[in-house]
Structure 1
Amino acid sequence: MLYVRLFLLIWAVFVFGCSPRSANLTLPFEPPKAFSSHASHAPSERWWTAFGDARMDSLVNRALQSNFNLETAWHRLRSAQAVVDREGAGRFPTLEVSGRGEVQRPDSENNAQIRLGITSEYEIDLWGRIRSGVDAARYRMRATEADYQTAALSLSAEVVRTYFQLIEAQSQHELFEHQIETNQQVLSLIRARFGSGQIRSVDILRQRQLIESTREQQIATESRIEVLEHQLAVLSGYAPQDGIVYTHHALPDLPPLPDTGLPVELIQRRPDVKRAYNLLLAADRDVAVAISNRYPRLSLTALASGDDRGGLFKDWVGNLIGNLLLPVIDGGERGAEIKRNQANKSAQLSAYGQTVLTAFAEVENALVQEQKQVERIASLEAQVALVRQTYDQLRLEYLNGISDYLDVLTALTNEQRLRRGLISAKLDLLEFRIALYRALAGGFEIARNNING
C-alpha cells in the first residue's frame, strides 16, 4: 500500500509539473492615465441617438437587422460557437454500436445469427491538451464575437455618416438654387447698365459664365444625392432602385461632448481590442497544446460483444484495454510546432499592443480634430460676414459708377464659395464627432429577428 501511495504522489508531481500553464499576458507598455479632454456627459451604447434624429435612428435599426455584411459576421460567430462544441466533445467518452446478421442454409437448425458489439473509448487528458484546445477555440469564438460587434459599430457609423452626407448634399443643392437666382438678378442689373452704355459686354459674359458654373456644380450635387440614397438603400439590405427619397432638413447641432473615460476602461470596452486580446489568449493555449503533444497519451477502450442463436445474447464477452501512445522520434516535428506557436503568440502580443495604441490615437485624433474644426467654422462664419459686407459695399459703389464690375464679381464669387464651404465644414464637424463616438464605443445588443436559428 505504501508503494502505491508513493507511486501516485510521484505521478501527480510529474503530471502537474509538466502540464502547460497559462502565461501572464499583459500589455507591452504602460497605458496613459487619462485622455486630453474630459466631459461629464456619459455616451449611450447606441451613440447615434445623441443626435436626436428619429428618422436616422430608424435607418440605423433597419440596417442592423437587414445588412448582409453584418449577417455574414453573425453566421461566422455561429460557426465559431460550433467549433467550441466540436473541440469540447473530446472531453467525453465515445460510444459506438455495431451489429451483424447472418443467415445460414435452410437445413440448419439455427439458420439466423445476430451479433452485437459495443465499443467505448475515452482519452484521459493527463497534460491538459484537450482542455487547452477547447480554451483556444473558445477564445477564438470570443474574438469572432468581437468581430461581429466591430462590424455592427462600423455599420452604424457608416449609416449615420452617409445620412449626414445626404443632408449636406441636399443643403448644397438648395444653396445652389439661391445662388443661381442671385446671379441671375445681378445679370439683369448688368444688362440694364449695358443698355444705357455704362459697361462693356464682357461683364455680361463673365456673369453668364458664373451662372453656368453654379449650375454645373448643382448638377454634380444632384448626382451625389442619388448616389448617397443608393448607398443608404444598400446599407439597409435593399436594392439601390428601391431606395427612399429623403426630404431635406438641416444638419443637426453638435451634441454635448461625451465623457471619454479612462484609457484602461477603453481597453476593456472596445471590441477590436477584445478581439486582439482573445486571439492572444488563443495563441497562448495553442502553445500549451503543442507542448502537450510531446507527452504520452493514455486512452481507455471498453469492448463488449455477444451473439444470439435463439436466445437473447446470453453470452457476452467484454474487456477493457488501456492504450499508451508515447512519442519517441519525430524528426523534430513537435519541437518545430512549439516554436511556430510561440512565434505566433509573440506576434499576437505585438498586434494586441498595436491595436491598443491605435485605439488611444483614434480617441485623441477625434478630440483634437473636433476642437480645431469648431475653431475653423468660427473663422469661416467670420469670413462670410466680412465678404458679405465687402460685396454689399462694392455693389453699391458699382451702381454709382465708382467700382469696377470685376471687383463685384470677385466678392460675389468668394461669398458663394465660403457659404458652400461652411456647409461642408459643418458636415466635417459631425463626421469628427462620429469618429469620436466610434472610437469610444463598446458593443451593444442586436436582436437578430431575420436570422433563422
Structure 2
Amino acid sequence: MPDTWWQAFDDPRLDRLVTWALDDNLSLRAGYQRLLQARALADRQGAGLFPSLDANAGAERQESDTTATTSYSAGLGASYEVDLWGRVQSLTEAEELRASATLADYQAAAISLSGEIASTWFQLLEQRAQYDLAERQLDTNEDVLTVIEARFGRGMTNSADVLRQRQLVNASVERLNEIEGEAGVLEHQLAVLLGQPPGRSNLPGGDALPALPPLPETGVPAELIQRRPDLRQAWLLIRAADQDLAAAISNRFPRFSIEASVSSQASDVSDLFDNWLTTLAGNLVAPLVDGGERRAEVRRSRAVREELVQEYGQAVLTAIQEVEDALTRGQQQHQRLDSLKERLQLADAAYRQLRNRYLNGAVSYIEVLDALREQQDLQRTLLTTRQQLLSSRVALYRALAGSIEISQEQESEKPQDTSTENDPA
C-alpha cells in the first residue's frame, strides 16, 4: 500500500489539504523538534565511546614588596573509560533505539494527522451537500405550501393542512441554520489541523463527496506489524529497554579508565614549550557496598522491559482489531447504503402517488406529509451514510498505513531509521 494512501480517493482537494497539513501543522512540527532532541541525546551518549581531550592555558602573576614574577602554563589532558563490559555501548545503543522510536512516533503522528484531515474534509463535504439538499427541500416544501394554500383558498382543504406544511417549511429553514453552523465548526477544525487561524484559511470549495475507492489489500498480521509505525515504535522501545538492562547489569562490575596529560610551565612565554611534563594513570573502580542500589536497578530495568513487552503485545492485538473493525463497519455501511437507495426509490414513488391522489381528493394530506417527510429524511440519511462509509475507509487506511515520507523543509537534515531490519515479523 502506498504511503500517500489518501490519493486512493482521487480527490485533488484532499491531496492539497494533506500536503498543506504535513508542512504546517504545529503539533507535527513540535514532533519534529522532539525527533531532533532524541537524535541529540543519542549523539551525546555516543560521545562516551571516544576519548575526551581538553586543553588548558593560564598565566599567574605574583608580586611582593620588591619583586614581581609571572609564570605561564599550557597543557593537554585526555581521559577514556575502557568499556570492558559493554556498559557505554549499551547506553549508546539504547539512546539510538529511542531516537529511532521517536522517528516512528513522528511517522505515526503524520498518519494520524492525514486521517483526521480526510475524515474532517469528508464531514465538511457532507455538510455542504446537506446544505444544498436542504435548500432544494425548502423549495419543494414551499411549492407544496403554495399548492395547499391555493386549495385552501378554494375551500378544498382545511387550515390544519396549511399549518402543518408551514411547520415543515419553518423546520427546513431551521435546518439550514443548523447545517451552516455545523459546517462552520468543521471549517474551524480543519483550519487548526492545517496550522491556520480558524476562519482565516482558504479552504477548497465544492460539496461533492468522492467515490469510494477499491478495498485495499489488508495483508497478514506480520505485514501489519512491520508496516505500522506505532508498532515499530513499541518494538524499538523494547529493544532500548533491553539495552538499559544490559547497562544496569554491567554497572555492577568494575570500571577501568585511563587518564593522560602533557603540560609545560615557564616564567617566560618563549620558554613555555621547552620543557614538558607527561603523566599517564589508570584507575580501576569496583563497587563493593552500595546497599543493593545496583541490584535494585537491574530488577527495575528488567521490569520495565517486561512491561513494554506486554504493552507491545496489547498494541499488536489492538492494531489487528482496528483493521477488523474498519472492515466490519465498512461492510455494514455498504449494505446499509444499498438498502437506503432502494428505500429512497420506493419513498419517491410513494410520495408522487400520494400527492396525485391527494390532489384528486382520494387521500388526506397527513398521508402526503408523512410520505414527504420520510422521503426527505431518507435523502439526508443517504448523504450521512455515504460520508460514514468514506470515513470507515479512512479508518481502514489508517489502520493499515505504513510510514509517511517526511515532507518538511528540514527533510535533508532528518536522520534515517536504520533499525528496521531487526523488527519482528
Which bin holds the TM-score, normalised by the shorter protein? over 0.9
2:409 aligns with 449
1:249 aligns with 207
2:32 matches 1:74: yes
User: How much does 1:110 deviate?
Assistant: 8.3
1:192 to 125, 143, 150: 150
Give the % identical residues: 47
User: How much does 1:109 deviate?
Assistant: 8.8
1:305 aligns with 263
1:19-418 paired onto structure 2 within 5 Å: 43-105=1-63, 111-310=69-268, 311-418=271-378
User: How much does 1:271 deviate?
Assistant: 0.2
Aligned residue type for 2:245:
V
Task: Give the secondary structure class of the aligned counterpart of 2:188.
Answer: helix
For 1:241 and 1:394, the matched residues in 2 are separated by: 46
Aligned residue type for 1:344:
V
Aligned residue type for 1:368:
T
The answer as to whether partners of 2:264 and 2:272 remain within 8 angstroms in 1 is: no
For 2:350 and 2:370, the matched residues in 1 are separated by: 10
Task: Give the secondary structure class of the aligned counterpart of 2:113.
Answer: helix
User: How much does 1:106 deviate?
Assistant: 9.0
The answer as to whether partners of 2:258 and 2:283 remain within 8 angstroms in 1 is: yes
For 1:332 and 1:107, the matched residues in 2 are separated by: 59
For 2:150 and 2:182, the matched residues in 1 are separated by: 37
User: How much does 1:227 deviate?
Assistant: 1.8
For 1:450 and 1:96, the matched residues in 2 are separated by: 33
For 1:305 and 1:247, the matched residues in 2 are separated by: 74
Q: Taking structure 2 as the reference length, what is the TM-score of the superposition?
A: 0.93
For 2:359 and 2:28, the matched residues in 1 are separated by: 62
For 1:315 and 1:255, the matched residues in 2 are separated by: 81
Aligned residue type for 1:320:
L
The answer as to whether partners of 1:296 and 1:324 remain within 8 angstroms in 2 is: yes
- Over the residues paired in the alignment, what is the CA RMSD in angstroms? 1.7
User: How much does 1:156 deviate?
Assistant: 0.9
The Cα offsets for residues 347-384 of structure 1, whole Å up to 9 and x where unpaired, read as: 10001101111111111111111111111000001111
2:379 aligns with 419
Report the more deviating stretch, 75-84 or 391-400.
391-400
Q: What residue ranges of structure 1 are gaps of 5+ in the alignment?
A: 1-42
The answer as to whether partners of 1:66 and 1:450 remain within 8 angstroms in 2 is: no
The Cα offsets for residues 133-190 of structure 1, whole Å up to 9 and x where unpaired, read as: 0111011111110110011111111111111111111100000001011111111111
Q: 1:245 to 1:318 in 2, by over 3 A?
A: closer
For 2:379 and 2:221, the matched residues in 1 are separated by: 39
Report the more deviating stretch, 316-325 or 171-180.
316-325
The answer as to whether partners of 2:55 and 2:76 remain within 8 angstroms in 1 is: yes
Task: Give the secondary structure class of the aligned counterpart of 2:289.
Answer: coil
Task: Give the secondary structure class of the aligned counterpart of 1:113.
Answer: strand
Task: Give the secondary structure class of the aligned counterpart of 2:308.
Answer: helix
User: How much does 1:442 deviate?
Assistant: 0.5
For 2:367 and 2:204, the matched residues in 1 are separated by: 40
Task: Give the secondary structure class of the aligned counterpart of 1:44.
Answer: coil
For 2:179 and 2:245, the matched residues in 1 are separated by: 57
Report the more deviating stretch, 169-178 or 154-163.
154-163
The Cα offsets for residues 371-412 of structure 1, whole Å up to 9 and x where unpaired, read as: 111110000011111111111121112111111111111110
For 1:203 and 1:339, the matched residues in 2 are separated by: 80
For 1:118 and 1:247, the matched residues in 2 are separated by: 68
1:10 aligns with none
Q: 1:413 to 1:450 in 2, by over 3 A?
A: farther
Task: Give the secondary structure class of the aligned counterpart of 1:240.
Answer: coil
The answer as to whether partners of 1:110 and 1:309 remain within 8 angstroms in 2 is: no
The answer as to whether partners of 1:300 and 1:323 remain within 8 angstroms in 2 is: yes
The answer as to whether partners of 1:65 and 1:450 remain within 8 angstroms in 2 is: no
Q: 1:256 to 1:67 in 2, by over 3 A?
A: same
For 1:415 and 1:87, the matched residues in 2 are separated by: 68
The answer as to whether partners of 1:126 and 1:297 remain within 8 angstroms in 2 is: yes
Q: Taking structure 1 as the reference length, what is the TM-score of the superposition?
A: 0.88
Q: What residue ranges of structure 2 are gaps of 5+ in the alignment?
A: 414-425
The answer as to whether partners of 1:295 and 1:326 remain within 8 angstroms in 2 is: yes
Aligned residue type for 1:378:
D
1:434 to 384, 394, 403: 394
